[in-house]
Amino acid sequence: MYRMLIIDDEPFIVDGLVDLFTKSALDLEIFGAYTVTEALDYVQQMKIDLVISDMKMPRKSGLQFVDELLTFWPQCRIIFLSGYDEFDYIYEAMKRNVDGYILKTEDDAILIKTVQDSLEKIEEKKLHEDEISSIEQKMQQMIPALKRELLRDLASGEKRETLLNDTVVDR
């Protein structure tokens, strides 16, 4: 199960989205925040995997919030939900490698699809990390056997240069 935080200064947006995603079939633990301060409290208390954030809020913008969020959870996926379709907002959001910039007037299906895509990216990254970890473990298990093979070949009189070109040696 992944944790998703929804932050917007309009309570009906937060409450509506919490309700929408609670009723969805997505495997999410959902939290809602009405201020950046409240959202940062969540971020400091637990790992957040996905954030849906408003762009323009009192005291701090969604961009400022995301910058702080990423210092705690750099792998967190970000979706901006905004009432503004101005190029500058979109451009600044995309510079942060967000998964989406969705207007509040768009259909819920678009937001749900964007969240599903973000969750798939999280899963893909997890699979890649698991594969890398497995390969690293296998390599560590192979090192003693490779060292024994190298010593055996050295003891049998093979030239060192030939061995170094044909065998991986842990240094």
In a domain, 171, yes or no: no
In a domain, 72, yes or no: yes
Same-domain pairing of 116 and 157: no
DSSP secondary structure letter of residue 95? T
Q: What integer pLDDT is reported at residue 86 of this predicted model?
A: 78
Q: Which of 39-48, 53-62, 119-128, 138-147 has the lowest mean pLDDT?
A: 138-147
Q: What integer pLDDT is reported at residue 16 of this predicted model?
A: 96
Q: What integer pLDDT is reported at residue 87 of this predicted model?
A: 79
What are the angstrom distances between the C-alpha of 21 and each of 37, 52, 107, 116, 143? 23, 11, 14, 11, 48
Same-domain pairing of 71 and 138: no
Question: Tokens representing 45?
Answer: 């208390």
Q: What is the CA radius of gyration of the chain?
A: 24
In which order are the strands placed within the sheet that holds 77-82?
28-33, 2-7, 50-54, 77-82, 100-103
Same-domain pairing of 75 and 155: no
Q: What integer pLDDT is reported at residue 99 of this predicted model?
A: 93
Same-domain pairing of 47 and 24: yes
**Each residue of 113-128: pLDDT tens digit?**
999 999 999 999 888 7
Q: What integer pLDDT is reported at residue 165 of this predicted model?
A: 63
Same-domain pairing of 53 and 110: yes
Contact residues for 84 (Cβ-Cβ < 8 A; gap 6+):
55, 56
Same-domain pairing of 90 and 111: yes
Domain span holding position 51: 2-127
Q: What integer pLDDT is reported at residue 136 of this predicted model?
A: 82
Same-domain pairing of 59 and 97: yes
Q: What is the mean pLDDT of the chain?
A: 87
How many domains does one find in the chain? 2
Same-domain pairing of 19 and 44: yes
Does the pLDDT value for residue 42 go beyond 80? yes
Q: Domain with 22 in it: what CATH number?
A: 3.40.50.2300
In a domain, 78, yes or no: yes
Among 39, 34, 36, which residue's Cα sits nearest to residue 8?
34
Q: What integer pLDDT is reported at residue 164 of this predicted model?
A: 57
**Alpha carbon distance 1, 158 (integer Å):** 55
> Quick one: pLDDT band at residue 131, thresholds 50, 70, 90?
confident
Same-domain pairing of 160 and 123: no
In a domain, 101, yes or no: yes
Does the pLDDT value for residue 156 go beyond 60? yes
Does the pLDDT value for residue 169 go beyond 60? no
Same-domain pairing of 59 and 94: yes
